[in-house]
Amino acid sequence: MGEPPRAQQRPEWLVTHGPRSGRHCGAQCGMDQDMTDPNIALRERLITAGLRPTSKRLALGGLVLNGANRHFSAEQMWNDAQSAGIRVSLATVYNTLRAFVDSSLLQVVQLQRSDVFDTNTHPHHHVLDETTGQLTDLEDAAVTLTLDEGFLPPGATVQDVDIVVRVRS
């Protein structure tokens, strides 16, 4: 007479979201507001994050802050903006992305060559396919880490650990 098997269901916000799933993270990521009008929702999200909802931030935010989980470089975002008919300079794209990062709407994944911006701002790791360049999320639970803090500089406290698992396909 064992216990009934426990449901292995993870909380919704821990579910890894695939690149184009359009899934958001529930209440944890502040996107649980009425998304029926994406413009109004985005405007409110920018304001809540402490950003003035300028037309450029709304236009560029509409490309990447729409709930779909993705990783992208500033150059890719600039290309997407051109395709969408949004006329901005690459410098404006950089400044806008930096503002989004400073407001915790995005985070930066630092790879060797260039910054990749990430719509998933929860703590997580990454898998980088060196063959295709594809970067995908690897949830925190997938990694068991032992860190001897004695090797850290004196007085330093750990803020975060980002792991990039490099694979070839």
Residues found near Zn ion in the complex (CB under 5 A): 118, 120, 137
**How many secondary structure helices (H) and strands (E) does the chain include?**
4, 6
Comparison of 96 and 119: residue with beta carbon closer to Zn ion: 119
Nearer to Zn ion, 92 or 121 (CB): 121
* Residue with Cβ nearer Zn ion (86 or 107): 107
Nearer to Zn ion, 96 or 120 (CB): 120
* Cβ atoms of 162 and 125 closer than 8 Å: yes
Q: Closest distance between Zn ion and the C-beta of residue 72, in Å?
A: 11
Residue 35: exposure state from Cβ atoms within 10 A (0-12, 13-18, ≥19): middle
User: Residue 104: which region, alpha, beta or left (left: phi > 0; alpha: psi -120 to 50)?
Assistant: left
- Taking the complex as a whole, the smallest distance from the CB of residue 135 to Zn ion amounts, in Å, to 7
Least distance CB 30 / Zn ion (angstroms): 17
CB of 87 to Zn ion, least distance (A): 29
